[in-house]
Structure 1
């Protein structure tokens, strides 16, 4: 029996900034962002969107009513939680109309949460092949205005429906992992903005990739050439470049692994950092934009969550409508409004306030699901199609 990803969907907010604009506003050489980081654009998340509404917008593009009846588990990977007790998956279950007879919970380990959800989901499906699991990776990356990490902000959501009909990616069960308690990136409870030791985090990322990748090769008697593509967790595109060049010299630009990597980083360079969703946006970018990767290709995936957890695992690309996926994601990205840096700064500062009652202006947000605000300490979401509050 085969299990894995049957459907995959993506959402990002309807606003972005251009990295040239940001560089000029910060008195930086634009090539520092465009080449040194590999970032061209960055999604900006308005107060009317949080991880729940973004997850719902991503999932509603792929789920049918029949899917919702067969989902036994909703696993929400995020490091941008909306409550210290209640899981984001509870709100999502209600917004999407998924059966109450389902497990629903949240997973946190920095950017690794979505991968943890996938591994739990495929284990469940191995015992329950007639059911389905919904896995979410949704986050908002915030480092603060005029900080070194500002260029690696962004946000969005990836929704993945797992089943025993893995038309997108069949997972073969082969995996290698490594974890260690370190302080390369973290976010204390008292702040919405992350703390990061940038150079150290880069070094740890590459180290964890090499540890898990080599462990995988040794454990399963594989070689680099057994892979048709490698996709990476990409907080920014240059990070994947640093990792890939440790196993394939970058001067081998015609090597298939470099060719496919360039396809896999395209969407990340336009959206920015999704934390838990970044690896899976890379996967989407690969299969939507590559014209050379065939069905049946062997894909290696490197997942990394600071603090730190790394995992390298693999799967086989399935047969599905890639043009439809590309059309959906391109539409998400191309619909965004370009903000001036002043507008971006105002939007950044107007995030959800820590008050019991708050009304949010969502009039410019045409997404199906939006966050209306908070009343008596309770979050209120709106389905703009049905007009229902949730």
Structure 2
């Protein structure tokens, strides 16, 4: 059977940077450690006044196509996943295709275009759609372009404000991929939840405590469902485990639950029994509250063991290095985690060919999806190009003062009409930019040479 998966990846970050411990924390009267240690974040990326989900998505796609030597006729499908769409009818994919047609001679008139919505899991769902399209033989030898693009902004003074971010991840889904192939097996955990939503509003309504609980519950269900159609997972099976990362602190919780599940009834649990005892078994308790108390005590002990800490530092921590510097990208976050892990492997000179990743995606509302990926022969070349581009972008971001941050936030707040000209803090160069509205309220874009 022909392998299908991710052939190439490109990342586009917002061009502005907010220093969380150095700029945001003092303005909020908060301890910087609340952000760096609690949330696990150092900085957030923001879009300049001429950037939005279309420009970031189009710029990521353009760079990917240039790096891969692609023309429009090579792409048979363009899917955009976003939580930040500004039109209830016209999909963002048509805007992005229109941008790309400004710089290529060919057109995307033959390409199927769409927009996916299921909170942050929509990026992975778009990859699934492309995978199925290729497997069904409908692609006619063409690849699919999947773009996850978001401005993950919160209302001012919202508890989630520090986790904000903006950027896009473009991925090429192809037969015989050079980066990773996708497993046929998938696992799902889904339920009707109200943990995070945007009922006809730009900024989210969030039940933070509930959101963490739902995230962990759906991830557990998805892992169990994955194991029902694949092999039982073990903590030593995977080179890395990228999770959806709204902020690294939440991944710490998910990783601990995952590790506990994967070592159950293994020699690792046996070895740890002398130190912290064996895992509580629910059937051994008559009272659910007593079981939950015993489980919490076990988990508290587990996270302090050398075995867990070594595993976490090796398998999970490398997936968080990009997110620490850019914040939450909603639909792109789990794909940043994958890229972060593979970039770390390049930096460490590690050969991942043939090794596997276990990818845990999540979207509020709520659904988790887990699947495995196998690293392909030419992964290093693909990641080196992506990493060089990303490192240049991160180093070149404009550092915001708090007053500038307030202004930029207002620029991207749909409910605020600003007086006078909107100040640009950076100079566009070889990129797509937003340039205003058309006669029907549509957004207009141009490529700046």
| TM-score, length-scaled by structure 2 | 0.81
The match for 1:66 among 57, 65, 70 is 70
- Report deviation, 1:67: 4.4
Select the structure that is richer in strand: 1
Q: After TM superposition, give the deviation of residue 359 of structure 1 in Å.
A: 7.6
Q: Which residue of 34, 45, 48 maps to 2:47?
A: 45
Structure 2 unmatched runs, 5+: 102-106, 260-301
Which of 403, 408, 418 is the equivalent residue of 1:347?
Answer: 408
Q: Does 1:285 align with 2:295?
A: no
Q: TM-score, structure 1 length as denominator?
A: 0.93
Pairing partner for 2:323 from 249, 252, 268: 268
- Residue in structure 2 matched with residue 388 of structure 1 by the alignment: none
Which piece of structure 1 moves more, 318-327 or 80-89? 318-327
Q: Deviations over 1:80-105 (max 9, x none)?
A: 00211100000111111252111011
Of residues 97, 101, 111, the one that matches 1:102 is: 111
Q: Distance in 1 between matches of 2:242 and 2:179?
A: 15
Gaps of 5+ in 1: 386-390
Aligned-partner Cα distance in 2 for 1:87–1:178: 27
Query: What SS is found at the alignment partner of 1:123?
Result: helix
* Aligned match of 2:445: 381
Structure 1 CA distance for aligned equivalents of residues 352 and 18 of structure 2: 34
CA distance in structure 2 between the partners assigned to 1:359 and 1:169 by the alignment: 46
Secondary structure, aligned partner of 2:65: coil
- Within 5 A, what are the aligned runs for 1:156-171? 156-171=167-182
Residue 241 of structure 2 aligns to a residue in which SS?
Answer: strand
RMSD, matched Cα: 1.9
Alignment of 1:259 onto 2:263: no
Shift of 1:293: 5.8
The offset of 1:365, in angstroms, is: 3.8
Find out whether 1:313 has 2:365 as its counterpart.
no
Moved more, 141-150 or 305-314: 141-150
**In 2, are the aligned partners of 1:360 and 1:372 still within 8 Å (CA)?**
no
Q: Distance in 2 between matches of 1:35 and 1:242?
A: 14
Q: Over alpha carbons, which structure has the higher Rg?
A: 2
How many residues are aligned here? Answer: 382
**Per-residue deviation, residues 318-349 of structure 1 (Å, max 9, x unmatched):** 22313222111111111101111111011101
Q: State the Cα deviation string for residues 288-331 of structure 1 (Å, max 9, x = none).
A: 12224612110010110000111001110122313222111111
1:92 to 91, 96, 105: 96
**Does 289-298 or 75-84 show the bigger shift?**
289-298
Task: Report the 3-state secondary structure (helix = DSSP H, G, I; strand = E; otherwise coil) of the residue aligned with 1:145.
Answer: coil
Separation (CA, whole Å) in 1 of partners of 2:204 and 2:312: 32
The equivalent of 1:186 in structure 2 is 197
* Matched residue, 1:22: 24
SS at match of 2:7: strand
CA contact (8 A) 1:48 1:365 kept: no
More helix by share: 2
Paired with 2:163 and 2:189, the residues of 1 have a C-alpha distance of 25
Q: Which residue of 1 aligns with 2:3?
A: 2
SS at match of 1:230: coil
Q: What residue is the counterpart of 2:213 in the other structure?
A: 203
Residues 202, 414 of structure 2: 8 Å contact kept: no
1:204-243 matched pairs, under 5 angstroms: 204-224=214-234, 225-243=236-254
